[in-house]
Structure 1
Amino acid sequence: CWLQQALRATDNPVIDAAVRLGNVLGLPVLVYHGVREDYPYASDRLHHFILGASRDLAAGCRARGLACVQHVDRSGHRERGLVYRLGADAAALVLEDQPTFVARWQTERVAERIEIPVYAVNGACLVPPAVLGEGIGGRSGFLRRHEPGRAAWTVADDESTDIAPYDGTLPFVPDTLEGDLDALIAELDIDHSLPASAAFPAGRAAAETRLMRLIQDVLPGYATTRNDATRREGASGLSPYLHFGVLGPREVMRAVEKAAVGARHSIKFADELLGWREWFHYQARALAKPEQYDRVAGWARATLADHAGDPRSHLESLTAMLRGETRDESWNACQRQFLRFGWMHNNLRMYWGKRIIAMTPDPETAWATACYLNDRLSLDGRDPATYGNIAAMFGGSPGDTDRPVYGRLATRSDGSTRSRDGGAAWLAKAAS
């Protein structure tokens, strides 16, 4: 069982599928997770979050009676082709069905080359996109198929096994991750300028704390406060833990459904977690490259192209944008959430993304810049949901007004934050 992003030991459909298959074959499951130095945007921030999750994954697997081995690629510890080498003595390979970034590229390559049966299992969604079928053109059609199917996927128990954990030979010496992760990460040839996020600690305990915070502090007013970036309880902050699979949507929804809150709040949260997030996963699965500009609606690309030559008085350098040091205080406040926390409130993201169109010389550069900043800085970057959100910033529904630079694309002001009580002061502090 090869994991890349579904980094949890329980309520994990990928592991459960492997255990079920192992039980049928009478064979033990070996869970493997590895991290390389050379994946795009590798940094202290991402490695710390990933390795913290992986450490807890291994402990959780042991508690389930499963063997889990890990490898951290670094100088003096190079192990190329480990998935193939581990697969040489395996009966089958169970891996993640992930539609974006390295997880997709590596999965597709391994499935083409390895000489054993490969089973791809979705571990990121409540309702696996594959069961919904093809030909869904919009979110309303998606919801008509998705909502009736949710109940069938809401309840599931972890698969159990009586087979002893794998204790056979391995083609490498595994890392244990039980020591000082900071010291290990310091050895790596990655981006050390981007520190780990203090706001989003790594590991299963931190994820469970976030989930408890959702139920106690966020969900009781979610439908009212969700769009207010100035309020701490205005967002769940679960997306980093969902992206790396430390939490799964089934576990989250079980907690939400048990919560003593008004129906409108739980319904709104379910619409965000399942109605939007899983719609973006479904979209990404149908796209050859979900991170590319050509996924943006044709009308939006056309109107932006018509205005690509318009004068742009708000151009900024990539360095100024990366550091959150542009002439736009509100945009800087957004960007510095990425820099400091590795996360940005969704309401701020809409303003952030729309403004990038005016800050860059053409729409293609705007798209590339938005993806670069999101993927490098954000813990939930490189994800179907964040790529889907960026596509929505560049698309949506066409407006009646034709504006310079934007054409018929809707713009976004900072008024939803600045006009609130204390909003201007909050933006000034966030931008400092």
Structure 2
Amino acid sequence: MIYRLKRWSAALLLGMFLSLLSILQCFAAGTVSQVNLHIGQTPDAVYLTYSAPDAAQGAFSVTGPKGTVDYAANPVWSDSAGKYLYSAKVDGLAPDSNYTYNIAGSYSGTFKTPAETGAFTFAFLTDTQIGFEADAKATGAMFSLLNSRDDLSFAYIAGDMTDSSRNERQWEMLFENGGVNAGAGQTFFGSHLIAAAQGNHDNSSFSGHITAPCANSGVGPVVYAFDYSNVKFVILNMNTPDTWAAQADFLRREAADAKNNGKWLVAGFHQSLYSGAAHIVDSGIISARKFWSPLFAELGVDLVLQGHDHVYARGFVTSTGSNANLTAENNTCHVVSGIPLYITGGHSGAVKWYAARNYQISTGDPLTPNYSFLDVNSAAPAQNPWGTDTSKTHEQSYILINVDGDTMTISTYMFRYDGISDKMATPPYLYDCLTISR
């Protein structure tokens, strides 16, 4: 017992030393870090968030088609982070325009505002869930792969940014990943707009590190909508059941606007209603499925982007939880109103993977047995086009969705990065590709 106490005490002291060292390095540098830009609810606004060791880093400028504008972000001291956190709304921007920004003379980056028309591609990521140095390095490899592309308009991240939302070291490793791809996260966040959903491992403020808009006080935190070209995105929050009724009213209004303007309708949130692994009959998931599944069908939601289950899964699911069995021709499916395509986005990080399970269906739950509602399930070899099981292969994933008028092409890539050796074990490959049309 004494040996175990000494061992755990040593581990605790080591962890505290590493966290303190990271903070001291930040103070020594005297520069801003953890920079990110969140998309706004209108194309003329974004939200800039960053951190710094002191309260004198609030001045920043943004340069675009009409020249340079100076802004100021207010510093807020965070005891848990041990640093100042800054946030500011940048508005008055022109749509579909390139901008550069400079923060306090110590960090510069670029971003592009949402386009009102035309084709675009966005990344769908989920569950980076940074916990330890090894999985931070693996996540850095994913960001490095995305940084090599020049066609990404923004990234939708379906929650669980870190394993523990109040662990500052984990937030630091989300941006500075360590190893071969040390700065890949910061490079990505500093040059791409993001749209974030709140996961169960996140808190409603993302511990001050990400600023997401809020549609109104009634719907609760991290609930908002935005248009990008001919797509309306509605981000919901499954963590707050007491606001679901208000969120549903918000979704109804946004859905009506989307349909009246001929836009695709995409819903995004963290906890998967329909996926292929262990969380499928968690009590909270059952409650959410009963509430939201019939509503998504009623309102004509085209695509549902989810996370939480650390598995890649997709299926056209009816309001009763059955597989719609839509026929694909040349890998293209024509969408049917009232039958959304549900996608669980896999695992962009490398902390854990969930397996499929045997489950029983409770009364009133719109679900069918044996994951039969899915067309693809990476955790079930019989439903996996590669015949493998990601709970054993431990492959990470990222998804690229190209929208071009009345078609969406969804390309899912998988790879395996060994964070211990800091090397790519399985190079990225196209795991799944589907086009939906209307």
Structure 2-normalised TM-score? Answer: 0.28
Structure with the higher strand share, 1 or 2 = 2
Structure 1-normalised TM-score? Answer: 0.29
Structure with the higher helix share, 1 or 2 = 1
Bigger RCO of structures 1 and 2 (CA < 8 A, at least 6 apart): 1
